[in-house]
Chains A and B, each alone.
Chain A
Amino acid sequence: MSLRTWPLWPMLRKEFIQMRRDRLTLGMMVGIPALQLVLFGFAIRTEVRHLPTIVLDEAHSSESRALVATLASSTYFDLVGQVDNRAEIPGWIGRGAAAAAVVIPPDFTRDLKRHRGAQAQVIVDAADPLSSASALQGAMLTSLTWAPDGTPPAARRPVELRVRPWYNPMLASSTYIVPGIIGVLLSITMVIITAMAVVREREKGTMEQLIVTPIDRTGLMLGKLLPFLLVGYVQMTVILVLGKLLFDVPLRGGLPLLYLMAFPFITASLGIGLFFSTLVKTQAQAMQAGFMFVMPNILLSGFMFPRAAMPEPAQALALTLPLTYFLEVLRGILLRGVGFDALWRDFAALTGFAVLTVALSVRRFHKTLD
């Protein structure tokens, strides 16, 4: 068998034709992630703003009142009350009567006048990560644009508005979650579509026909895998673009680096799907296996809960999931703008997963019916 007559080529051709004709599945592969992201995005847009906010003004100056007025006029905060001392704040937030509290300390005015960079505090109920994210955003915007009247432009120095998240000190903010969505959606769809694609051939009886041809296992498996690699990239691009447009997901680091790092991750997810296809018999089972795999990924990878806060065994288990590493990559590149030097360990781990899962499924796949 020469490279030119490798059965992989007709196999790839066939897969692409089938993919092109199967508009529904293709649409779902790209449409569902897009839909989820949009829903998520709009849920945040509508819920986030107009946080019921209380004010503790210990400075009692015209400047402090001006700051409060600016915060209140932003769409992020709605003033619902004034309190006279800190002890009252937990009551308001605890009852849910307020989701945020603005605290202006007594020396605010003095610091401001000395152009020292005055500080005020925004306390948020971070048990709801969405509201804390919005408080953060609102506070940042306000602090950047606000200065008391009459300050000469040269002397303008941003007021430092410190956000103190309560109840969820790790602050799982929306920017933190959205890059994770890319990873989670990619792993769900990649695992499920490959497993389904192989099992479908078995259910339809075409696998039996394929097996009696001289196609080699590697050619067969690669033929199933490579087209979906492309789908994975398309999916990732769609989510990135939508995330940017709708959600303002920052893109601090290099996109080429992200696409490079995605290669072993997508391949590993496809490899896991292929592996599942060697274990299950029907498309329904493939679907179930896929979802069963996705649950620990969502819970353990650090997508929803910070890994540092998890018990040791859970942390150890998380290290066996490719998503754990890819989340590091996504957050590192998108949020912190780090380079390859900070991520090479994750890259190595992901490459290891990719080689392992693909090799394992090629090995497990036998060209027999039982």
Chain B
Amino acid sequence: MSAPAAIRIEALHRRFGDLVAVERLDLEIPAGQIFGLLGANGSGKTTTIRMLTGLLAPTSGRAWVAGIDVVAEPEAVRRRLGYMSQRFGLYDDLTVEENLRFYAGLYGLVGEPGRARVEELIAGLGFTERRRQLAGTLSGGWKQRLSLACATAHRPAVLFLDEPTAGVDPAARRHFWEVIRGLAAGGTTIVVTTHYMDEAERCERLAMLWRGRLVAVGTPAEIEQQLGAPTLEDAFIALQEKDEAA
């Protein structure tokens, strides 16, 4: 790993009352990598991403995104990151174009540069015919695509995607991953959570979370090795069985 770290996490810890949602997490993610966060429901994926995006303050520990301390300078970090939440964050009563213009505008993309960027996204993601459609009336796949477009309108250095393909059909998922790969090839660092093992296989590196704890990290092949399982799915299920036994 010669590239500089786009994300560095040191002993990041978050409690909700008595519950430890993320336990002293250490991670380093190089720039331009597609990095997967895996783990069962409630294992702490969303909480980790929320801390990295400044949405939740860590109980302790530190993290740097694009070289900036997340806790000390949350606003500076926000200009450099894009975030697609589990709930898509679209305004159902705005059209495709209005959603894009709105989010681009919040990053200071207004006037001619703003309009140009919105047009670029509309054309690039195939929204030309749907530009005046209300976001609320889009199908799942198109909503996801629009949500991604909104999150990347300002060309962030680091992109966080929280279960971006949940409830989306295979064709839309394939298209989505093509776009993701394109972004990564352009230098964007991508952190993505997923419950689909075929998607996990497409990540360059993965972190496996179990009850807020990091239990394995590495390439998909390394993870299988570390957890002594023939496939990622087996590794995942072995962890879950461990969970039920505990």
Binding site for B on A (CB under 8 A): 1, 4-5, 7, 9-11, 13-14, 17-18, 21-22, 204-206, 208-216, 367-370
Do B79 and A214 touch (CB < 8 A)?
yes
Do A213 and B78 touch (CB < 8 A)?
yes
Do B102 and A10 touch (CB < 8 A)?
yes
Do A17 and B98 touch (CB < 8 A)?
yes
Do B78 and A14 touch (CB < 8 A)?
no
The residue of chain B having its C-beta at the shortest distance from the C-beta of A4 within the complex is B110
Tell me which residues from 64 to 118 in chain B have a Cβ below 8 Å from any Cβ of chain A: 74-75, 78-79, 81, 83, 85, 87-94, 98, 101-108, 110-111
Kindly state the separation between the CA atoms of A215 and B106 in the bound complex, as whole angstroms. Answer: 6
* Interface pick from B36-44, B49-57, B179-187, B231-239: B49-57
Do A205 and B87 touch (CB < 8 A)?
yes
Cβ-neighbour of A18 out of B56, B79, B85, B93 (below 8 A): B93
Question: Quick one: given A9-B110, A369-B56, A370-B56, are A214 and B105 in contact (CB under 8 Å)?
Answer: no
B57: chain A residues at CB < 8 Å are 368, 370
Do B90 and A206 touch (CB < 8 A)?
yes
Question: Quick one: given A209-B85, A212-B55, are A11 and B106 in contact (CB under 8 Å)?
Answer: yes
Do B85 and A367 touch (CB < 8 A)?
no
Do B87 and A208 touch (CB < 8 A)?
yes
Smallest Cβ distance from A131 to chain B, in angstroms?
A: 49
Smallest Cβ distance from B68 to chain A, in angstroms?
A: 13
A-B pairs, 6 with minimum CB distance: A10-B105, A209-B89, A205-B87, A5-B108, A213-B106, A212-B83
Do B98 and A369 touch (CB < 8 A)?
no
Do A367 and B74 touch (CB < 8 A)?
yes
Do A14 and B94 touch (CB < 8 A)?
yes
Cβ-neighbour of B75 out of A5, A9, A214 (below 8 A): A214
Smallest Cβ distance from B140 to chain A, in angstroms?
A: 15
Tell me which residues from 11 to 49 in chain B have a Cβ below 8 Å from any Cβ of chain A: none
Smallest Cβ distance from A56 to chain B, in angstroms?
A: 67
Cβ-neighbour of B94 out of A4, A18, A369 (below 8 A): A18
Smallest Cβ distance from B64 to chain A, in angstroms?
A: 17
Cβ-neighbour of A208 out of B55, B75, B94, B107 (below 8 A): B55
Do A13 and B90 touch (CB < 8 A)?
no
Binding site for A on B (CB under 8 A): 50, 53-57, 74-75, 78-79, 81, 83, 85, 87-94, 98, 101-108, 110-111, 150
Can you add 13 more A-B contacts, CB < 8 Å, to A13-B105, A208-B85, A214-B107?
A: A5-B108, A7-B105, A7-B108, A10-B104, A14-B91, A14-B102, A208-B87, A208-B89, A209-B85, A211-B55, A213-B106, A214-B108, A370-B56
8 A-B pairs within 8 Å (CB atoms) are namely A1-B108, A4-B110, A9-B110, A17-B93, A204-B87, A205-B89, A212-B53, A214-B106
Question: Quick one: given A4-B111, A9-B105, A212-B55, are A14 and B98 in contact (CB under 8 Å)?
Answer: yes
Kindly state the separation between the CA atoms of A22 and B94 in the bound complex, as whole angstroms. Answer: 11
B103: chain A residues at CB < 8 Å are 209, 213
A368: chain B residues at CB < 8 Å are 54-57
Most buried by B among A14, A17, A205: A14
B81: chain A residues at CB < 8 Å are 212
B105: chain A residues at CB < 8 Å are 7, 9-10, 13
Do B50 and A369 touch (CB < 8 A)?
yes
Do B94 and A5 touch (CB < 8 A)?
no
Smallest Cβ distance from B137 to chain A, in angstroms?
A: 12
Kindly state the separation between the CA atoms of A209 and B78 in the bound complex, as whole angstroms. Answer: 11
Question: Quick one: given A14-B102, A209-B83, A212-B83, are A5 and B89 in contact (CB under 8 Å)?
Answer: no
Question: Quick one: given A212-B55, A213-B103, A215-B106, are A205 and B88 in contact (CB under 8 Å)?
Answer: yes
Cβ-neighbour of A22 out of B89, B93, B150 (below 8 A): B93
Smallest Cβ distance from A301 to chain B, in angstroms?
A: 36
B87: chain A residues at CB < 8 Å are 204-205, 208
Kindly state the separation between the CA atoms of A213 and B153 in the bound complex, as whole angstroms. Answer: 11
The residue of chain B having its C-beta at the shortest distance from the C-beta of A18 within the complex is B93
Kindly state the separation between the CA atoms of A47 and B193 in the bound complex, as whole angstroms. Answer: 68
Cβ-neighbour of A206 out of B50, B83, B91 (below 8 A): B91
Do A21 and B93 touch (CB < 8 A)?
yes
A214: chain B residues at CB < 8 Å are 75, 78-79, 106-108
A206: chain B residues at CB < 8 Å are 89-91
Kindly state the separation between the CA atoms of A212 and B150 in the bound complex, as whole angstroms. Answer: 12
Do B54 and A367 touch (CB < 8 A)?
yes
Smallest Cβ distance from A7 to chain B, in angstroms?
A: 5
Kindly state the separation between the CA atoms of A288 and B12 in the bound complex, as whole angstroms. Answer: 39
Smallest Cβ distance from A231 to chain B, in angstroms?
A: 17
Most buried by A among B79, B105, B111: B105
Kindly state the separation between the CA atoms of A232 and B233 in the bound complex, as whole angstroms. Answer: 58
The residue of chain B having its C-beta at the shortest distance from the C-beta of A22 within the complex is B93
A22: chain B residues at CB < 8 Å are 93
Kindly state the separation between the CA atoms of A21 and B91 in the bound complex, as whole angstroms. Answer: 12
Smallest Cβ distance from A266 to chain B, in angstroms?
A: 25
Kindly state the separation between the CA atoms of A121 and B107 in the bound complex, as whole angstroms. Answer: 73
Do B85 and A5 touch (CB < 8 A)?
no
A7: chain B residues at CB < 8 Å are 105-106, 108
Kindly state the separation between the CA atoms of A369 and B111 in the bound complex, as whole angstroms. Answer: 31
The residue of chain B having its C-beta at the shortest distance from the C-beta of A10 within the complex is B105
The residue of chain A having its C-beta at the shortest distance from the C-beta of B50 within the complex is A369
Kindly state the separation between the CA atoms of A9 and B105 in the bound complex, as whole angstroms. Answer: 8
A215: chain B residues at CB < 8 Å are 106
